[in-house]
Structure 1
Amino acid sequence: MIKSRTAQECGKADFGWLQARYTFSFGHYFDPKLMGYASLRVLNQEILAPGASFQPRTYPRVDVLNLVLQGEAEYRDSEGNSVRVSVGEAALLSTQPNVSYSEHNLSANKPLTRMQLWLDACPEHENPLIQKIAVGNQRHLLLASPTGDDNSLQLRQQVWIHHLNLKAGEKQEFTLHGPRAYLQSIHGQADALGGNSDTRQSLVCGDGAFIHQEQTLTIIARTPLQALLIDLPV
């Protein structure tokens, strides 16, 4: 099964300093049927106004992945650790109990646009507190994985996150690790095909798709495409 979650169906917020689109329940947006998907708790695209900040807050035990699409952000924790992340880079925060985290748009005149994911973290795993990776423009990058394969960010969960940057007409095939995955179009249009030729779903910019009980997945770009595939066996 491949079932779309269109950008128009997502929760939205506009607070002036912050504009956001929420795939799952988050903040003021609540849908009891959309509390996450497997270990994926949060998938947001947010725009912070120039100079805007998220003030320090604590998190449940999750890995927080931030992919910067425009601008430059700084992430700080209450232990004195910090990282700067520019467009084309991603950072992973392995959140800790009783530690607070803040986010700042470092530009005084440009907005910050980024994707943010929260993934449940296994209680017995500990990783570096802050990790960072350059995404670049290669057609396929393993962005994060449980064991840091291929110099990817290392997660505290059995999840594989792929970043795609395809030209129109290009395709990428995947063998999934388990029964669930989620596909998110960041920019561009694509077709997602399951192992059964009848299982096909079209996505436009900002759309996502729940993938269930598909052993393989083929993504075909109909326009230049930037996308994330989140392979969620648990």
Structure 2
Amino acid sequence: MITVRKAAERGQADFGWLKSRHTFSFGNYYDPRYMGVSALRVINDDRVTPGQGFATHGHRDMEIISYVISGTIAHKDSYGHVKDLPAGEFQLMSAGSGIYHSEFNPSATEPLHFLQIWIQPAITGGVPGYQQKAFAQTEALTAVVTPDGRDGTLQIKQDVTVYRLILAASEQLTLPLTSTRTLYLHLIGGELELNGSKLSTSDGISITDEQLLTVNANNDVEALVFDLP
């Protein structure tokens, strides 16, 4: 089964300094049809004006992934991590038993555009953790987050693997699928066809009970692919 989530139909919030589009119910946006997919609970497409950001706030029992599309995030948390997260890098914060952090756009001129992703952990509590890394894209599909941290990937407390997909125009990718797993794809940029469904920038698609995944890039494409339990 294939379910397309069109970009224009997402929830939205506009605070002036922050413009956000919500793939799933979040904050003041609630739609019982869109409460997440499997362990994937949040995909927020956030744009932050220069010099602004999220004040210190807390999380617990959530795996929070940030991926910067353009600009830089200045991160600071209650466990002493003070980091800059530039475009193209991934951050994974395991909130565990509780952590406070702030996220800020340190630039006076450049907007910040990033994805904020929440995944529900299989194990709650525990000491919070912080990981950050840039990944070379040596093939179309590159694992960036895995349950076991294999091959230098960021390690998550859930049976979830996150891939970055990059295809050039007219390239095709074909993958066998497992019937017991769910895939979710969020298209960061470009246009593609996936098992006959057409997607444009910021569209999403959920795939279950399919035997084969065929992706055709109509132009240069970047996406995140979530392999979910």
Q: Given the alignment of the two structures, is residue 97 of structure 1 paired with residue 93 of structure 2, yes or no? A: no
Q: Give 2:163's aligned residue.
A: 162
Q: Could you tell me whether the CA contact under 8 Å between 1:127 and 1:154 is conserved in 2?
A: no
Gaps of 5+ in 1: 194-199
| Pair 1:179 & 2:181 matched | yes
Q: 1:49 to 1:83 in 2, by over 3 A?
A: same
Residue aligned with 2:76, SS:
strand
* Structure-1 separation of matches of 2:96 and 2:36: 21
Cα distance change, pair 216–152 in 1 and its aligned pair in 2 (3 A): farther
Q: Which whole-Å deviations, capped at 9, do the CAs of 1:165-207 have from their partners, x for residues lacking one? A: 11011122333453311111100011112xxxxxx21101111
CA distance in 2, matches of 1:126, 1:215: 37
2:61·2:125 contact (CA, 8 Å) conserved in 1? Answer: no
Shift, 1:109, TM fit: 1.2
SS in 2 for 1:185: strand
Mean Cα deviation higher: 168-177 or 110-119 = 168-177
Deviation, structure 1 residue 7: 0.3
What is aligned with 1:123? 123
Q: State whether residues 89 and 136 of structure 1, in contact with CA within 8 Å, keep that contact through their aligned partners in structure 2.
A: no
**Once superposed, what is the RMSD of the aligned Cα atoms?**
1.8
| 1:125 CA drift (Å) | 8.4
CA distance in 1, matches of 2:218, 2:24: 26
Change (3 A) 1:228 1:140: same
Residue 46 of structure 1 aligns with an amino acid whose one-letter code is D
Match of 1:197 in 2: none
What is the DSSP-based 3-state SS (H/G/I as helix, E as strand, rest coil) of the residue aligned with 1:58?
strand
Which of 189, 192, 203 matches 1:190?
Answer: 192
Q: Which amino acid aligns with 1:227?
A: A
Report the CA distance between 1:26 and its aligned residue.
Answer: 0.7
Q: Bigger CA drift: 224-233 or 128-137? A: 128-137
Q: Report if aligned partners of 1:125, 1:156 keep a CA contact under 8 Å in 2.
A: no
Post-superposition Cα deviations, 1:45-88, rounded to whole Å, max 9, x if no partner, equal 10111011111112241111100011111222112222211011
Counterpart of 2:149 in structure 1: which amino acid?
G
Deviations 1:111-162 (A, max 9, x none): 1110111001122686871111213454321111111122211110000111
| TM-score after normalising by structure 1 | 0.91
User: When the two structures are superposed, what TM-score results if normalisation uses the length of structure 2?
Assistant: 0.93
2:221 corresponds to 1:225: yes
Q: Percent of pairs identical after alignment?
A: 36
Q: How does 1:17-56 map to 2 (within 5 A)?
A: 17-56=17-56
Divergent runs of 4+, >6 A: none
